[in-house]
Structure 1
Amino acid sequence: SLLSLFSFRKRKKSVEQEASPSLFSRIPLIRDPNKETPFFSNVAVKKDYFFKEEEKEVENNIEKKENQESIQWKLPPADLLKTPPLPSALQMSLQESKGDAERLKRKLEQFSISGEIANIRSGPVITVFEFKPEDHVKVARITQMEDDLMIALKSRSIRIIAPIPGRDVVGIETAHTKRQMVYLKDMIKDPLFWQSEQPLPLVLGRHVDGRPAIKDLEKLPHLMVAGSTGSGKSVFVISFLLSLLFRHTPETLRLLLVDPKQVDLSVFAGLPHLLTPPVRESKEAVVALQWCLSEMYKRYRSLARFHVRDLVSFNEKTKKLKEEERQTHQDFTESLGEDSEELYYFSPQPYICVVLEEFGDLMSSPDRNRIETLVVRLAQMARACGIHLILSMQSPRKDVVTGLIKTNIPGRMSFKVSSRIDSRIILDEGGAERLLSQGDMLYLGPGQARPERYHGSFVKETEVLSVVQFWKRQAKTDFCLIKNGGEEGILHRNNEEISLEQDDNKYKEVFHYVSELKEVSASHLQRKYGLGYPRAARLIDRLEEEGVVGPARGSKPREVLVPK
């Protein structure tokens, strides 16, 4: 089938390592495995992202590493990120807090709302006053006081939590006149980030009282993010991906980035963790998601084969396989044939994080229905096998965040949005429309009754490029090859396009060659013409459609039907 064909080349490793299946052993290589020279050159590693004085050194280092038996990965140091300045006195002082507390209490008493300020929590961006109303006070009245309290405290923004879940107090959050920046480096150096029980740390930033806020994407297991322009949504997605690069090598994590605007995620071009260059078109996104679905099913077959329930248990079990057991699995999978639906893995597999930036644009494309179906299916089933989705959008409209998508993605996050309606769509309640810009967010995790407020960490583009550059020095990109569904006859190959006219010329040549044979296969054409598997398979399908070759016969070559 020409549907969702990816080709994947393993990095140069020892003979023993090459004997074990790669992440995509189901998919044939796009080069002749008998040849020593790789099909890929240093593709899609744009020189714009190299520091010119280091470019030659980087290429030499990569060449040396490829000649070694295996790549000894090194994790990037936190020093690649900007060192935060010394903490300044931006947090509200105790005296200022007490003054605001008194004004707050007097204003509420003017409306016959009596009580006391039970606690004050001050953080880098906001201060939370915990107001304990007297027994006769109706809590619903306090929620109607937002505008009046903004005037009384001269605050840019006020948000009321009535009540704080699990407590007998009402939270009144007020913004500082000056805010303190939250830096990603502080989050990376925090011990909470390096806890082993959090394999995919989701760095949110800081709590309202300044404590680090780090969740585990594996437990979410998927996340939906919304935020208008300037809210800090894109910076959060970038900082989250960057934080993963501090914990994972390309052998433990792979990324699939879909960026229709071709702006926000372009800084990650050339990263060894990428499965493909950032996907730009909706048709390519469909193919990428179809591949993810196929990969999910193969991983489930692998889990069933080894009698485990999740990827962590599978990786632990396959690491302990003896060489004889591994060879037995390899011989069996090779006997099934490269297109068999019974193939499975028997070596540790990495997590796969799929980021769909500007999801609203994808849902506005002609491929909307196919994208929604694939996203819902992945959200329903992909958790156990280590595939996680991040959906990012500017406006969470109902036609974008459909009922099925919302039901199957329990982790939701909203930065500042334009209206209360948008806030209710993403969080099931208002409040996100009153947030500040630049990283102020509300997070609603699985099982939470009310969203929590956090302040996202900031990272500069130069810091991102420094970390990406660190990984580029260790290995070349190891891309999959995306075929654009065959509908328009375009195959993206090392960032080049093969048109229908070129395929027609190649087809004529292949037709005359095949006519002299008794049987033929896609791999035969690959070796003969140096083609990638997707293009060779497409030519075989066309030969079948025109009656030149017979139907597929499992792992056997196809019979040639035309006379010599």
Structure 2
Amino acid sequence: MTVERDWLERSADQIEAVLSRHKADGVVLGGVVAPRFVQFHVRPHPSVRIQRIIALAEEIALALGCASVRIARSGGVVHIEMPRSLEAPVRLLRLVETLGREIPPHTAVLGVEETGRPLLLRLPAPDVVHLLIAGMTGSGKSALARTILASLALCNAPERLRIVLIDPKGRGFAPLAHLPHVEGGVIADAQAAVNRLRVVVREMERRDEEGISAPLLVVAIDELADLLQTGGKTAEATITRLAQRGREAGIHLVACTQKPTAQLIGGAMKANFPVRLVGAVATRDEARYASGVPDSGAEKLGGRGDFLLVAKGETTRFQAAWIGESECRALNAPRRQGEKGGAGRHQT
């Protein structure tokens, strides 16, 4: 679908008209047309409070003829986003081929940000360390976790990368079980998961004693809340310990949850997951808990891979790359990276 300039200009006029009628004057400075949304950049009048504009979300959506809009502030500009239908998924394998040698070691490919540039995340970077992926059913959180793990496996040999898969439901990570990087297949039983986490803690202690951090070890947990509930205090203690001390030993957590509550994301867990990947959630409270920032607008995301990257208090909207289950099962070993590649944005 091509978005016509005259439609964009009419929509900008409608936004300004709604703001003016409700004495929340602002000027549309421009915007961005992304795969999943159209974003208008509004500079509010100095006397207008941001919350006043946020409160007009329903009126703006009505004027634009869409189900809802997402409103968030960035610097001195307010972003008003309306959804558009996704023409086709962002294919991980095609994205990896395009990037080629631009992908550094131990770097995950997330997808494409609103400008169309690839978005990469280097796990060993000091500002990354561990990843928390949150979102309700249909948000695409398990698919994003598979994308992250598959992209790491594609670009890193098994002797440089090891993966532990913990999946209480046994479905989300099943297509990756055969990868040569994976240790012990998919662990679905709660007690077996706790035992494996204990083994990882002992490995962390051994690495600390010997002063080593290789190979990189990624512990992926689907349905974190379920594991904490069934695994009890032991599961919580081992995960917290890995989150606190794992980085120096080259151990990183990638955890998914569809229940981003204050109880789950609090204390040590909150402090040690500085990077959040937040998909669609049900309420503003869940959006706040999941993202760690107020008014992220995650409750307005469109689902199906529509995500926010939250790092250092800033958010980046992106469309997650997608890899089908049959494609996952066809992966056998790291593919040889091409000679050519476009530049992507790196989170370091």
Q: Residue 37 of structure 1 corresponds to which residue in structure 2?
A: none
Give yes or no for the alignment of 1:437 onto 2:303: yes
**Using a 3 Å threshold, how does the CA distance of structure 1 residues 171 and 454 change in structure 2: closer, same or farther?**
same
Structure 1 residue 128 displacement after superposition: 1.2
Percent sequence identity over matched residues? Answer: 28
- Report the Cα distance in structure 2 between the residues aligned to 1:115 and 1:422, rounded to whole angstroms: 29
Q: Residue 28 of structure 2 corresponds to which residue in structure 1?
A: 117
The match for 2:239 among 367, 372, 375 is 375
* Pairs aligned (count): 330
Q: Which has the higher strand share?
A: 2
Give yes or no for the alignment of 1:135 onto 2:46: yes
Q: Residue 343 of structure 2 corresponds to which residue in structure 1?
A: none
Q: Residue 346 of structure 2 corresponds to which residue in structure 1?
A: none
SS of residue paired to 1:278: strand
- After TM superposition, the runs of 4+ consecutive aligned structure 1 residues lying more than 3 A away are 177-180, 193-196
Q: Residue 396 of structure 1 corresponds to which residue in structure 2?
A: 260
Structure 1 residue 151 displacement after superposition: 0.4
Structure 1 residue 288 displacement after superposition: 0.9
List gaps (5 residues or longer) in structure 2.
335-348
**Using a 3 Å threshold, how does the CA distance of structure 1 residues 180 and 169 change in structure 2: closer, same or farther?**
farther
- Report the Cα distance in structure 2 between the residues aligned to 1:139 and 1:284, rounded to whole angstroms: 49
Q: Residue 201 of structure 1 corresponds to which residue in structure 2?
A: 107
Larger-gyration structure (1/2): 1
The match for 1:356 among 196, 208, 221 is 221
Contact map agreement 2:150 2:176 (CA 8 A) in 1:
no
**Using a 3 Å threshold, how does the CA distance of structure 1 residues 269 and 180 change in structure 2: closer, same or farther?**
closer
Contact map agreement 2:165 2:186 (CA 8 A) in 1:
yes
Give yes or no for the alignment of 1:159 onto 2:70: yes
- Report the Cα distance in structure 2 between the residues aligned to 1:269 and 1:396, rounded to whole angstroms: 27
SS of residue paired to 1:395: coil
**Over residues 23-79 of structure 1, what are the superposed CA-to-partner deviations in whole Å (9 max), with x where a residue is unaligned?**
xxxxxxxxxxxxxxxxxxxxxxxxxxxxxxxxxxxxxxxxxxxxxxxxxxxxxxxxx
- Matched to 2:188, the amino acid is R
Contact map agreement 2:58 2:68 (CA 8 A) in 1:
no
**Using a 3 Å threshold, how does the CA distance of structure 1 residues 222 and 235 change in structure 2: closer, same or farther?**
same
- Report the Cα distance in structure 1 between the residues aligned to 2:183 and 2:172, rounded to whole angstroms: 18
Q: Residue 166 of structure 2 corresponds to which residue in structure 1?
A: 258
Structure 1 residue 414 displacement after superposition: 1.4
SS of residue paired to 1:213: strand
Structure 1 residue 423 displacement after superposition: 1.4
Contact map agreement 1:155 1:177 (CA 8 A) in 2:
no
**Using a 3 Å threshold, how does the CA distance of structure 1 residues 180 and 123 change in structure 2: closer, same or farther?**
farther
Structure 1 residue 179 displacement after superposition: 4.4
- Report the Cα distance in structure 2 between the residues aligned to 1:210 and 1:173, rounded to whole angstroms: 16
The match for 1:461 among 322, 325, 330 is 325
Structure 1 residue 381 displacement after superposition: 1.0
Contact map agreement 1:157 1:435 (CA 8 A) in 2:
no
Aligned Cα root-mean-square deviation (Å) = 1.9
- Report the Cα distance in structure 2 between the residues aligned to 1:138 and 1:264, rounded to whole angstroms: 43
Q: How do residues 317-356 of structure 1 correspond to structure 2 at under 5 angstroms?
A: 349-356=214-221
The match for 1:108 among 5, 14, 19 is 19
Structure 1 residue 225 displacement after superposition: 0.9
Q: Residue 280 of structure 2 corresponds to which residue in structure 1?
A: 416
Contact map agreement 1:441 1:456 (CA 8 A) in 2:
yes
- Report the Cα distance in structure 1 between the residues aligned to 2:260 and 2:89, rounded to whole angstroms: 27
SS of residue paired to 1:352: strand
Structure 1 residue 153 displacement after superposition: 0.5
- Report the Cα distance in structure 2 between the residues aligned to 1:169 and 1:453, rounded to whole angstroms: 16
